[in-house]
C-alpha cells in the first residue's frame, strides 16, 4: 500500500471516528441529562398524594417523632421531610436540585404532592415524595421488602403466589429487570462506540482502496509512458462514470495523441529525407558532369541552380509549416478586402495556368472584409488553387467561387482532375501526402495543402475536401467574418 492509500485511509477513518464520537457523545449527554431530569422528578401519582397526606397528618398530630416512626415503617413510598435548614428528618441525603424542584411546585400551589407543615414551635417541614427511580437510588441500602404504603392498608398490587382453583402458576422469570447489572454497566456505553469504530475502519479501508487502486494504475501507466510504452491501458476499465475512470480514458487519449505526433514526426523526417535525396542526387550528378565534360559546364550550372531553388523552396515551406504549427506566425488583426484579395490571387493563377494550357475562373462576389493576416491568407488560398491547376488536365478550367453567408465566408476551389480516393480525403492535408492516383511528373512536395490548413485554422476557419460528381476535387474553405 502506498502513502496515498494511508492518507485516504487515516483521513476518512479520523473523520468517521470524530463524527461517531461527536454524535454518540451528544446523544449520551442528552440521555444522561434526561435521565437526571427523570431522577429528580417529584412523584405526582395517587400513591404519592396518599403518602403525603398521611405524613402531613401524622406530623401535625404527633410531631417529628411520630412522623419518623411512620417513615421507618413505610416500604416503597418513603416521604422526605426537610426542615428550613435543608436537613431531612431521617438523615437522608437530599439532592439540592430535587429540593429546589419541590419548593418550585409548592410555590405554584401544588399541595397535592408537596406539602408544607409548620409545627407549633414555628419550625416548618417540607414534605414530598421523590420519583421511584430516585427513591430506589436513595433507599437502595434498605431494599424493597414489599411492605405496604402505610401499615394497616391493603396493598392491591399483584404478588406471585399460587393461583386459585389449583391452576399451575405461570413460569417465574428470574431475570433481573431493567438495565444490566453493575458488573457490565461500565462497558455498556463503549459497545456502540466500538461497533462504530470497527464500521468506520472497514468503510475507510474500502474507500481508500477504491481511490488508491486507479491512481496506482495511473502511476504505473505514467511510468510505462516515460519508457516509451504508449499503448492504451484503460480501454478495458469498467465504465463506472466517475472522475477516476474519465482520468484514465483521458490518459489514453493523451498517449494516442503522443503516438500520433511521434509517428508524424518520424514520417515527416522520412519524407524530408526522401524529398532532399532526389535534388541532392541530381546536384551530385550535375557536378560530376561538369567535371567530366567541361564543355557542358553551363548546362550543369543551370541544373545545379534549379535544384538549389527547389531545395530552398522545400526548406522554406518546411520552416513555414513548422512556424505555423508552433504558433510563431499568428494571424494579425489587419482588415482584409476579400474581393480584392481573391481578384489578385485569381489573376496571378490565371497567368501561370495559361502557360500550361489551363484556365482559372472566378465566380461570385464577396464584397466583405475580415480581420487577419493578408499575406498568410493569400498564400493559403494560392496553394489550394495551384494544387488544383497542377492536377487538372490540359484545357480544363479551375473555378474559384466565393460567397458570404451571414457571419461566414465560403471559398470553393473546384477542378476536374482525377480526384482523390474517399479514404484519403481526410489525409490530403498532411505534409508530403501523395495520392495513389497522382501522376509522377506532377511537381511539388505535398506541403501546400498542409500549410493552407494551418493558416485557415489559425484564422478560426475550416478546410475540407470532397470529390465532385463527374470527376474532380472540391476544396472548401470557411472563414469567420467577425
Task: Note whether 413 and 456 are within 8 A (CB).
Answer: no
Whether residue 354 sits in one domain with residue 375: yes
Q: Is 159 part of any domain?
A: no
Whether residue 452 sits in one domain with residue 356: yes
Whether residue 80 sits in one domain with residue 132: yes
For the ranges 25-29, 173-177, 254-258, 356-360, the one whose mean pLDDT is highest: 356-360
Whether residue 339 sits in one domain with residue 282: no
**CATH number, position 296:** 1.10.287.130
For residue 440, pLDDT over 60 is answered with no
Q: Is 76 part of any domain?
A: yes
Task: Note whether 443 and 387 are within 8 A (CB).
Answer: no
For 226-272, what is each residue's pLDDT tens digit? 888 888 777 665 555 567 777 888 888 888 888 877 877 777 777 67
For 300-310, what is each residue's pLDDT tens digit? 888 888 888 87
Record the pTM. Answer: 0.48
Structural domain including 292 reads 243-324
Whether residue 310 sits in one domain with residue 195: no
**CATH number, position 104:** 3.30.450.160
> For the chain, how many structural domains are there in total?
3
Whether residue 225 sits in one domain with residue 195: yes
End position of a domain, from candidates 324, 356, 387 = 324
For 81-130, what is each residue's pLDDT tens digit? 899 888 888 888 888 888 888 888 888 887 888 989 888 888 899 988 88
Whether residue 395 sits in one domain with residue 412: yes
> Cβ contacts of residue 351 below 8 Å, gap of 6+?
none
Whether residue 212 sits in one domain with residue 139: yes
**CATH number, position 346:** 3.30.565.10
Amino acid at each position: 500500500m502506498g502513502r496515498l492509500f494511508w492518507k485516504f485511509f487515516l483521513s476518512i477513518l479520523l473523520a468517521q471516528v470524530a463524527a461517531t464520537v461527536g454524535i454518540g457523545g451528544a446523544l449520551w449527554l442528552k440521555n444522561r441529562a434526561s435521565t437526571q431530569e427523570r431522577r429528580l422528578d417529584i412523584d405526582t401519582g395517587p400513591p404519592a398524594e396518599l403518602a403525603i397526606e398521611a405524613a402531613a397528618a401524622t406530623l401535625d398530630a404527633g410531631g417529628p417523632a411520630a412522623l419518623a416512626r411512620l417513615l421507618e415503617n413505610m416500604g416503597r413510598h418513603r416521604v422526605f421531610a426537610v426542615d428550613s435548614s435543608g436537613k431531612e428528618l431521617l438523615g437522608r441525603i437530599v439532592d439540592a436540585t430535587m429540593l429546589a424542584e419541590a419548593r418550585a411546585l409548592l410555590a405554584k400551589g401544588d399541595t397535592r404532592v408537596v406539602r408544607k407543615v409548620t409545627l407549633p414551635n414555628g419550625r416548618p417541614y417540607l414534605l414530598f415524595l421523590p420519583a421511584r427511580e430516585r427513591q430506589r437510588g436513595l433507599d437502595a441500602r434498605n431494599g424493597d421488602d414489599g411492605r405496604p404504603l402505610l401499615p394497616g392498608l391493603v396493598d392491591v398490587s399483584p404478588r406471585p403466589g399460587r393461583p386459585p382453583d389449583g391452576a399451575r402458576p405461570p413460569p417465574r422469570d428470574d431475570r433481573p429487570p431493567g438495565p444490566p447489572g453493575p458488573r457490565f454497566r461500565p462497558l455498556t456505553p463503549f459497545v456502540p462506540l466500538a461497533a462504530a469504530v470497527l464500521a468506520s475502519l472497514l468503510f475507510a479501508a474500502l474507500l481508500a482502496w477504491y481511490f488508491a487502486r486507479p491512481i496506482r494504475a495511473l502511476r504505473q501507466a505514467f511510468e510505462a509512458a516515460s519508457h516509451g510504452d504508449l499503448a492504451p491501458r484503460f480501454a478495458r476499465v469498467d465504465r463506472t462514470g466517475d472522475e477516476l475512470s474519465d482520468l484514465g480514458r483521458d490518459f489514453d487519449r493523451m498517449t494516442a495523441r503522443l503516438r500520433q505526433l511521434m509517428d508524424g514526426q518520424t514520417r515527416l523526417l522520412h519524407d524530408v529525407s526522401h524529398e532532399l535525396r532526389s535534388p541532392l542526387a541530381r546536384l551530385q550528378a550535375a557536378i560530376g558532369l561538369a567535371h567530366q565534360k567541361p564543355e557542358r559546364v553551363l548546362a550543369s550550372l543551370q541544373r545545379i541552380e534549379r535544384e538549389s531553388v527547389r531545395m530552398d523552396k522545400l526548406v522554406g515551406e518546411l520552416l513555414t509549416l513548422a512556424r505555423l504549427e508552433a504558433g510563431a506566425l499568428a494571424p494579425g488583426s489587419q482588415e482584409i478586402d476579400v474581393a480584392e484579395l481573391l481578384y489578385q490571387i485569381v489573376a496571378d493563377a490565371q497567368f501561370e495556368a495559361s502557360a500550361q494550357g489551363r484556365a482559372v475562373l472566378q465566380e461570385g462576389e464577396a464584397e466583405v472584409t475580415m480581420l487577419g493576416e493578408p499575406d498568410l491568407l493569400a498564400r493559403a488560398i494560392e496553394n489550394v488553387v495551384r494544387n488544383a491547376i497542377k492536377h487538372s488536365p490540359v484545357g480544363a478550367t479551375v473555378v474559384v467561387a466565393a460567397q458570404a453567408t451571414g457571419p461566414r465566408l465560403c471559398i470553393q476551389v473546384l477542378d476536374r482532375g482525377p480526384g482523390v480516393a474517399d479514404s484519403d480525403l481526410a489525409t490530403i492535408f498532411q505534409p508530403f501526402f501523395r495520392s495513389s492516383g497522382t501522376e509522377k511528373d506532377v511537381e511539388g512536395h505535398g506541403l501546400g495543402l498542409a500549410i493552407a490548413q494551418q493558416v485557415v485554422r489559425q484564422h478560426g476557419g475550416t478546410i475540407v475536401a470532397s470529390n465532385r460528381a463527374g470527376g474532380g476535387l472540391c476544396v472548401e474553405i470557411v472563414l469567420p467574418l467577425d
